[in-house]
Structure 1
């Protein structure tokens, strides 16, 4: 077995990424099994097996309050930063349910932390994957091998790439449910996935755990929460923690993770704190079934295979790669090299070449478009015989391109992908808000000294990239641009009374250039309008009072700026 370390698989998640490899025992109980089988509690009954407080409490859809809040806040954050992903909070909740039963039984606190750590088994290549240490033991307490950590069971190297600060405390901690939920959302949305597309949704969950039984469980829980809603449960509801590490003893607050918890007989109808692992449904993969330590087979060294002849190349993932203009895309598609028996071959060099009318270019090592060989790159298959399609950038024009993979010296095998580049959606704003003055007063022959900024928002969130046109009208109630009233200046000191402002920044803020009063006193109107017709009017009054000369540094705006 080859070891896994931090690699491109973390930055470009797919079924072969470290996060997707066998890393512990998820809880694969399905909602219908809990409802129809072991879940016999009555509505409102906080006892019974299968779920914190028993599945009978509001059905099987109970979620601790803090966990529910974390999942919903992650959905809101991703809706603002990656709206094309269409991430539902119920999907994160489905993963949280399968990975740790929403951190239930681990002392979940209102700030998202847990009183006891949630750790998977040591990934030393025994029952689970072989992943050597990538974080120096910072998160998992193991400086030799990695372990999955936290309520969402992140591999440390995956967290290094996709970690997030979901509770805004300037720390990215996989053990904090707010941070982990947002990190999970970012990971699932990688590669411009659209999770409203069933194929993208399936690929996203497989990239988290490459097991069909895992995908089935997560999606059934997601649909349960979506159709039935979620019943908010107390964070501290007594329950037996789910153990991703089947050999670990139950932890206790304030003690080490492997400290045994003394158990006592539980009253009838209530769950007891036992160390028995949760049952694994029939049909689950073999690596998800706990084995007694004494029965684990010892890892055997794998001989280095002899060099085999390449017979064919196969595509992993859809033939079409969808992209938008002026974007950097890290596709999830892969290529596998096989011999005549269909066995993957490691160490095969593949040449990937781009052709077509779309301006698509591969990225170089420094994440910049390469100046010369940006239309062709060479990649090598890994120990599983798989090569990732590398990242590329798209130009300003839509179109199509063909990516063709061949093996130099082997004329027969080839595989192609079609890259479809669509126009990027124009950021839109449904509201313009003045951040400084709601009206402007400036004496003749001077320029306004106070800054003037507006904020563009969409659905009450910053509309980064939104465009706004500014026009100075001849009167407060007029609709005709003034010819001798206030004006802006470009770099050549030409007077502009109509100009397109620069795009809104990441916070949706757009600064306006200095407004010059001109020589004619009176009332004017600064009208700011989006392409969709959203409008903000700011009254401008030019007074006749003289003022000391003001010479602010000119700002460059408009189409005539150098």
Structure 2
């Protein structure tokens, strides 16, 4: 797909410029200057070769192949009374078949988008974007071949990411998700690579599991993935960034945007298993709508093509032996050889090309790069940022490798993006700096692990501490003397302002106690008191907290029959203390008429 969009697609109705751009993308294979072979594929001169180091591991899919078919240029308008694309009409009457989305898969997209909108309303995620990505990644789970819970009948696996025509991503999950213990593969309806699923995976259907082959789980994970970093998908630039972060290809971007706009106008529900099946992929291979491979054995280890086996009988087909004496056609991938034993992890594929080491291959370990003490009060940003250096075995820095920072432990702390995972690129000195950490409300220690993306090497663990919100100063908001008669109620309530380093100390815990004396902070058993819910005297209040402006207003105070001067002491976490004077004295007797005369 060689054509470019002149502008991004905005949420809602398309503008004239966007509509024109969509037409341009739909016509890409017919655009002037684009050469296609007799199989309808883009010529080698126009194709963009994948760069094994170009954001492969940093993308959701590892830049795996995707389906390139575009929706039809001329589609009939929806029939009167049917859906306009927002509600997902179940009849599909009068609508093009390409707009059909299997019912369970459509339900997963919509529920995922709703959950993400509730959690991250500023992202403005349209469900049609999830549908567009699901269409180009797996043909909506092979046309909706899922069970009632949304799990595919067989795994959907992309080709082996061994560097032979694709990015090279060494095994990160010991084959747990993709069945391959040497290299990673994209997995499931939304085609997550295992290392991304490890942190981005979600439980979308509430069964307690995070399964990349479940469309509810995968769609919810994709939604949160697209909404990280505070992106607003109603903004053209953020929408583009989000899609490119899923698969770092401009052609991929254009394909997804085209389907996004199409589904906004023409989507409708069809029965599971009857969705339209794509066949042409970005790596030049073709299929009959199986999505990606159906299992770990569907691609021979070491195959350069990455072409999945043709479906048949519900299983996978064995590859045909190659003919070494017959040169391969230049416009087709070389047929795979007979299956050979799978090599050990981290080893080159036997018989495959010798690939030069990437920067990631040269990293021996990660180490701390001078990170200071990680401490912040609840609700505050950590002033210190984590710095980690990637080094070779002999201590030389390694630049341009990705370091993943993962927050773990019983904490609600996140990075500034709101996510618990962030990836940063090392600079020329080998140092990657994590985004700002944001403390939540849970106090205590948690850990941030720094690990290398793409290989398993010795990482670094950082302990971070969240302390309680604190105040260092308390002052009364007014200076009116607090005076009461015996058995009466104080006219004014006590209100104080808490600050920390001159700024309002919001939501700081406080205690108020009527003390015996300045030298004896124990609770007084006589004099002024508060009332509990039943009207009984209470002289200590715990669990108080300042408001968002740092203000704390105490309940009304009452006096018993004891007269004199009494003390109310207010303390907060952080050591702020204020002692307030209370006076209980009889009312002045009014002068009698005789005395006045």
TM range (shorter): 0.3 to 0.5
| TM-score normalised over the length of structure 1 | 0.47
Task: Tell me the TM-score normalized by structure 2.
Answer: 0.44
User: Which protein shows a greater Rg?
Assistant: 2
